[in-house]
Amino acid sequence: MSEHQNRPIVSVEDSDEDFASLCQALNDAGVTNPVQRCASGRAALDALSSDKGCVATRKAAFVLLDLNMPGADGRGLLELFRSRERSVPVIVLSTSSYPDDIAFCYDKGANGYLVKPLEYDRWQEMIARVATYWLETVALPP
């Protein structure tokens, strides 16, 4: 068992339905890590702006970041997070397959960019692969 399997997964997701789907997909994939949610861009911005929030995020196995949220969207959050923390992987989740969105995110330090599929089976498979990769396959800093 990887040491990262005990670290939380941080989800920045404003949609209750998408967050519930993410948690179900992680559960279906057998992931036992706790999932911490920032339910809005503003909540994530507040967490990243406080020492307590930054410390909690620095302990994350990885961050799943919704790109398009009202208010403080994922683009600004990605930039802020990367200005403070470089070692925690950030995977952007979006319905956008627009090349400029993808290029922007990688340019600003995203470790991955996933286009959310509409079908739950594909979504569950994608999340299972992400979890396996970041929790079991790669070596991450302590």
In a domain, 83, yes or no: yes
Alpha helices in the chain (DSSP H): 16-28, 41-49, 51-58, 74-84, 99-107, 120-132
CATH number of the domain where residue 90 is located: 3.40.50.2300
Report how many domains make up the chain. Answer: 1
- Tens of pLDDT along the chain (142 residues) come to 456 668 889 999 989 999 999 999 999 999 999 999 988 877 887 777 666 655 566 788 999 999 988 777 889 889 988 888 888 899 999 999 999 999 999 999 999 999 999 999 999 999 999 999 999 999 887 7
Q: Is 50 exposed, middle or buried (0-12, 13-18, 19+ CB in 10 A)?
A: exposed
58 and 90 in contact (C-beta within 8 Å)?
Answer: no
Residue labelled with tokens 């739950």? 120
Q: What is the pTM of this model?
A: 0.90
96: containing domain:
3-137
Q: Which two tokens stand for residue 123?
A: 């979504």
